[in-house]
Each structure stands twice: as structure tokens, then as C-alpha cells.
């Protein structure tokens, strides 16, 4: 394959695919930056909103699992604080002797 077969396209060895010549973003970037560059006309590529929503839903689900795992620790910490806040009875030798 050569450039004559795909006018207006150039083969990118890094991405191993044919890309449009007018794409001025030739480096990897996040979907947020890719959308920013697309809105300014620097690239034809724009992240798929459906895929982005799926990614965010997965991230939310993972965070819910992490929060659920942290709750028992928080309860234990609260119990420890309550126990530490109670007045302590000091045992001395005199109080032990009968």
C-alpha cells in the first residue's frame, strides 16, 4: 500500500494505521484533550461518547465497591475513638491490695 492508494492519508508507523494528513495531533492524549483539540479543528478524531459513558459507569461501579470496602474500617475507627474517649480507671498497687 502506498499514499497513492489513499489520497489525503498517510501511514503512521506508531499507530500502525492510515491517518488523515490534516490531523495535527500525532501524540497520545486523553479523551478530554482529544475532544478539546477536535473542537478547535486540530484533529478529525473525536472520542465516542457512548464508550466514554461506559467507561465512567465502570469507574463509578469500581468506586462504589471501594467505598463499601472502606465502610467497615470507618465503623471500627469510630468504635476505637469512643473507647479511647471514655474515662480510664487507673489501677495502682493500693487499689489491688485488699
> Mean pLDDT throughout 53-60?
90
For residue 51, what pLDDT is reported? 81
Number of domains making up the chain = 1
Structural domain that includes position 51: 1-98
Give the model's confidence band at 60: pLDDT under 50 very low, under 70 low, under 90 confident, else very high: very high
Q: Is the pLDDT of residue 54 over 80?
A: yes
Yes or no: say if 30 and 47 are a contact pair by the CB < 8 Å rule: no
Residue 63 has pLDDT above 80, yes or no: yes
Alpha helices in 1-98 (DSSP H): 31-39, 49-85, 93-96
Q: Which residues pair with 11 in a beta bridge?
A: 18
Residue 16 region by backbone torsions, left for phi larger than 0, else alpha for psi between -120 and 50, else beta: left
Does 3 score more than 60 pLDDT?
Answer: no
Residue 79 has pLDDT above 60, yes or no: yes
pLDDT value of position 61:
94
Q: What is the per-residue pLDDT for 46?
A: 77
Amino acid at each position: 500500500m502506498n499514499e497513492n492508494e489513499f489520497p489525503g492519508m498517510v501511514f503512521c508507523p506508531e499507530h500502525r494505521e492510515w491517518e488523515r494528513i490534516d490531523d495535527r495531533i500525532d501524540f497520545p492524549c486523553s479523551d478530554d484533550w482529544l475532544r478539546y483539540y477536535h473542537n478547535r479543528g486540530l484533529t478529525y478524531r473525536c472520542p465516542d461518547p457512548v464508550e466514554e459513558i461506559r467507561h465512567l459507569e465502570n469507574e463509578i461501579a469500581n468506586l462504589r465497591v471501594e467505598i463499601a470496602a472502606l465502610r467497615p474500617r470507618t465503623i471500627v475507627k469510630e468504635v476505637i475513638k469512643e473507647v479511647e474517649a471514655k474515662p480510664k480507671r487507673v489501677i495502682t498497687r493500693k487499689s489491688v491490695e485488699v
